[in-house]
Amino acid sequence: MTPKLSIVTPSFNQAPYLEQTLRSVLSQRDQIHEYFVYDGGSTDGSTDIIKKYASQIDYWISEKDKGQSDAIARGFARATGDYLAWINSDDVYLPAALARIRAALDAHPDWDAVSANHARIDAQSRLCSLHRVTAESRAAALRGVFHPHQPTVFFRRTLYEKVGGLNSDLHLVFDTELFYRILDAGAHWGHLPQYLAAFRQHPQSKGIGTPDKYAGEYAFLNDRYPHYHAPTVRHFLGRAAHKAMQFLSGREFAARRDTGSWRGQTIEECFGPWLMKRREPTDNPDSTTHANPI
């Protein structure tokens, strides 16, 4: 049976980008088991955008939370699908991405987690760069080579629960920290060599202007996961060798070729439009749209 996907979007005051995120998910609604939106009490009109699509969202709420990681964790606690993922309210899935993920997971039932190639876009959804990466593995991570792009990552719900879920005390590197625990649990990590999602870079991005916070959380990773993250000679040499292999394999040149061909164009110009489909009413009593706008 093709795996069921549960997807969560954490949201807070990102109205300029939120609708495109929602459309990127809901245009592929037939590929999703359930979709939840957890808004942290936005005051910029985000809840009006969510309401516009509420009939296609299984559950949404707008109330103060403890931050992005807390919102995602709350969504995952509600989830019942086989695989979990989150897409932030300024990032997007590319058209047809979720059908490709489900097909890959169906073809590889041994995959506990999977990631893929990705794009970077600007505030106007124009492509800035494209990136082709290799498959992740614990062996590579022990050499300092670990680069899963979060919007492309899906993982088993049972594995997520086994490793203890997200660390809500972290706010910038909670994705990496979770993925390290998934590696430590012996997960078989698959790779889809296709562009799956786009990460948006814009002036309001959470990571911009927070170098001190990043430094503190990176120090936590160095201390807790020195086998993957600490600045050691082994990791430095491993990353240098990996960078060389990216060129020798042709992946880096292919990504640069794609970037040169598509830079400045919109996602829809390059990958096609997000076509919204009408969703039939559900008779599942557990599928509930709930709103508590601030």
Return the domain boundaries, the chain: 5-271
Q: pLDDT for 47-83, tens place per residue?
A: 999 999 999 999 999 999 889 999 999 999 999 999 9
In this predicted model, which residue has the larger pLDDT, 245 or 287? 245
Report the percent of the chain where pLDDT is more than 70.
92
Q: Is 221 helix (H, G, I), strand (E, B) or coil?
A: helix
Query: Rounded mean pLDDT of 235-263?
Result: 95
Q: pLDDT for 77-106, tens place per residue?
A: 999 999 999 999 999 999 999 999 999 999
Which residues does 152 contact at the CB level (< 8 Å), separation at least 6?
A: 115, 116, 117, 118, 192, 196, 197
pTM of the model: 0.91
Number of residues written out for the chain: 294
- With 0-12 CB in 10 A as exposed, 13-18 as middle and 19+ as buried, what is 117? buried
- Of the listed ranges 132-146, 197-211, 241-255, 276-290, the least confidently predicted one is 276-290
DSSP designation for 40? -
What's the mean per-residue pLDDT of the chain?
Answer: 91
**pLDDT score recorded for residue 204:** 67
Q: Write down the architecture of domain 5-271 according to CATH.
A: Alpha-Beta Complex (3.90)
Distances (CA, A) of 113 to 135, 155, 205, 228, 251: 11, 4, 26, 18, 22
Q: Which structure tokens are listed for 96?
A: 């047809």
- 286 confidence band (pLDDT: 50, 70, 90): very low
